Structure 1
Amino acid sequence: MHRYAVALVFGLLGASPILAQDAVVDCENAMTQRDMNICSYEDYMVVDRALNDTYTWALARTEDWGSGTKEALRAAQRTWIAYRDAACNAEGQLHEGGSIRPLIENTCKATLTTRRTQDMRATYEPF
């Protein structure tokens, strides 16, 4: 019995690359709702990484301005993230139970995150 359990575990582990390949989506030609949801999440992740890079850059620019400036930026960013998530959840709630909800929420997050990145850059670049 033990031998079968071990064989089953290794068999499942061996199958995982096959399952992972199923998750690869051609976002240029996404046709199903599932694929569009995956692609919208990937788009959101790209702009979220850009925001994180910009945030790190802005924090570094505050080094010479005193501790209050850095802490104010951190507090503002935490508050903004909570706002973004709540606003996009509210937008997604309009589609509760629908397969389009992840697309709506991911698109909302990507849009707001892009704007936040632009605003942060505009605020801290002159200094």
Structure 2
Amino acid sequence: MMKTSHLIATNAIALSLMCLSPNLTANAYAETNTADPCKTQANTIEINECAKSELAKKDKALNAAYQMLIKKLAPTDKFDDINYTEVKKQLLEAQQNWIKYRDTDCKAKYTLNEKGTIRGVVHLGCLIERTEQRTKELLNWNPD
């Protein structure tokens, strides 16, 4: 059990550090009075808001990678007899199944921590990690 709690704490700290802005000092914050939760990280709500913002960026990158791959799945010349329609259909099905996997896997982590305030950042951190992994997979997917 100690390994799990250590891993959860490590993930939460890593996510918090990822969202922190190293160039923002307390004085600069007081002067700018910004509403960006990734620049303040003053409480759990801001940590979660920052993670949500990071997840939105990762989702955007995932969607771009998917769309780029779909566009690559086309005949290269008139002798190319690959059934790209079927390949795209299977890729779509795989992507839909992956989304179900990601969401369910990360929901399990949320449920494991549902009694603690860390539940949100653990859940969001999981979604971010899985989304980054899938984006890399799609970018490395070889349509040739």
TM bin, normalised by shorter chain, reads 0.7 to 0.9
SS in 1 for 2:92: helix
CA RMSD of aligned residues (A): 1.7
Structure 2 residue aligned with 1:74: 92
Mapping for residues 14-33 of structure 1, pairs under 5 Å: 24-33=35-44
Pairing partner for 2:107 from 66, 85, 89: 89
The structure whose residues are more often helix, as a share, is 1
Mapping for residues 30-109 of structure 1, pairs under 5 Å: 30-64=41-75, 65=82, 66-109=84-127
> Where does structure 1 lack aligned partners over 5 or more consecutive residues?
1-23
Length, aligned pairs only: 104
Shift of 1:87: 0.4
Shift of 1:95: 1.2
TM-score (norm 2): 0.67
**Which of 41-50 and 91-100 deviates more?**
91-100
* Whole-angstrom CA distance in 1 between matches of 2:58 and 2:49: 15
Tell me the amino acid that sits aligned with residue 55 of structure 2: Y
Structure 2 residue aligned with 1:12: none
- Find the structure with the greater CA-based Rg: 1
Q: Is the 8 A contact 1:50 1:117 kept in 2?
A: yes
Q: Is the 8 A contact 2:40 2:46 kept in 1?
A: no
Structure 2 residue aligned with 1:110: 128
> Where does structure 2 lack aligned partners over 5 or more consecutive residues?
1-34, 76-81
TM-score (norm 1): 0.75
Higher relative contact order (CA 8 A, sep 6+): 1
